[in-house]
């Protein structure tokens, strides 16, 4: 009986390991392809579209890809200042930020704090669900390492700018610029860029509460940091 249990345990372990490695190979293949091709969609876009269709079967997301050169440097600086000031210096992880987030999580007894770099956020958006768990964070870390080594900083940032959520069904810099300011991503002013960057942590809420006092305050903070932000 013990031999049978050990045998089945070994088979289950081997199968689990094979599935795990196959998934990592699938992710790696996608990243290699996306070095020179545009991602048509992301896991997060698909998840959001499914949620929207529960209340509106005809719902669609708005997403228009624009190349890195067609996105205002103002927006690039604003996002670096707001989301990941050490983006060009780290290799995917801001360990000081992660430590602070971990301490907050310990106090709450669950995963609540962020601390994620732009690379980690992109890893989550491209492949993973929005649900928080230690297992998901582990997979996010693996994908982040692959992102940094396969794509590099400029391409990571280009895909990030084109894929993050900026409102209910609004994805990417181009659609955000059109939705909020009636312009394109290339012509965003410093103020407009700072306002968009301030919305990233909770875009659907701020889409409905554009006159929020906190949004105005955060916009001012980001404006003050933009000049020192280094971009790829």
Q: Where are the domains of the chain?
A: 1-37, 38-228
Distance CA 28, CA 7 (A): 32
Joined tokens for residue 19: 């599935």
Beta-strand ranges (E) seen in the chain are 62-63, 165-167, 170-171
Q: Which of 81, 84, 121, 114 is nearest to 98 (CA)?
A: 114
Beta-sheet pairing, 170-171 with 165-167: antiparallel
Q: pLDDT tens digit string along 96-110? A: 766 665 556 555 555
Tokens 């669609």, located at residue: 60
> What are the CA-CA distances from residue 49 to residues 54, 57, 166, 169 (Å)?
9, 10, 14, 7
Task: Provide, rounded to the nearest whole percent, the portion of the chain with pLDDT above 90.
Answer: 74
Q: Is the pLDDT of residue 53 over 80?
A: yes
Q: What is the pLDDT of residue 111?
A: 47
DSSP-based three-state secondary structure for 171: strand
Distance CA 21, CA 30 (A): 14
Q: pLDDT tens digit string along 116-173? A: 899 999 999 999 866 666 777 888 999 999 999 999 999 999 999 999 999 999 999 9
β-bridge mates for residue 62, sequence order: 170
Burial (CB count <10 Å: 0-12, 13-18, 19+), residue 166: buried
- What residues have CB less than 8 Å from 29, skipping those under 6 apart? none
The CATH architecture annotation of domain 38-228 reads Orthogonal Bundle (1.10)
Distance CA 199, CA 22 (A): 36
User: Whole-prediction pTM value?
Assistant: 0.88
Q: What is the pLDDT of residue 7?
A: 64
Q: pLDDT tens digit string along 56-70? A: 999 999 999 999 999
Mean pLDDT of the chain: 89
* CB of 55 closer than 8 Å to CB of 171: no
Joined tokens for residue 204: 């659907």
Q: What is the pLDDT of residue 220?
A: 97
């Amino acid at each position: 009986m013990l031999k049978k249990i050990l045998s089945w345990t070994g088979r289950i372990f081997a199968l689990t390991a094979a599935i795990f490695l196959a998934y990592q190979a699938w992710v790696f293949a996608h990243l290699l392809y996306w070095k020179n091709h545009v991602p048509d969609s992301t896991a997060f876009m698909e998840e959001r579209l499914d949620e929207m269709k529960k209340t509106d079967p005809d719902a669609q997301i708005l997403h228009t890809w624009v190349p890195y050169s067609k996105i205002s440097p103002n927006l690039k600086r604003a996002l670096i200042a707001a989301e990941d000031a050490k983006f060009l210096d780290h290799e995917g992880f801001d360990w000081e930020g992660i430590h602070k987030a971990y301490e907050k999580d310990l106090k709450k007894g669950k995963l609540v704090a962020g601390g994620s770099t732009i690379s980690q956020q992109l890893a989550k958006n491209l492949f993973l669900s929005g649900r928080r768990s230690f297992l998901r964070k582990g997979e996010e870390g693996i994908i982040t390492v692959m992102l940094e080594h396969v794509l590099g900083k400029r391409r990571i940032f280009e895909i990030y700018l084109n894929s993050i959520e900026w409102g209910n069904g609004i994805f990417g810099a181009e659609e955000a610029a059109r939705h909020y300011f009636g312009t394109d991503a290339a012509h965003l002013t410093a103020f407009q860029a700072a306002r968009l960057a301030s919305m990233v942590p909770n875009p659907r809420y701020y889409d409905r509460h554009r006159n929020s006092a906190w949004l105005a305050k955060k916009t001012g903070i980001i404006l003050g940091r933009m000049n020192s932000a280094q971009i790829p």
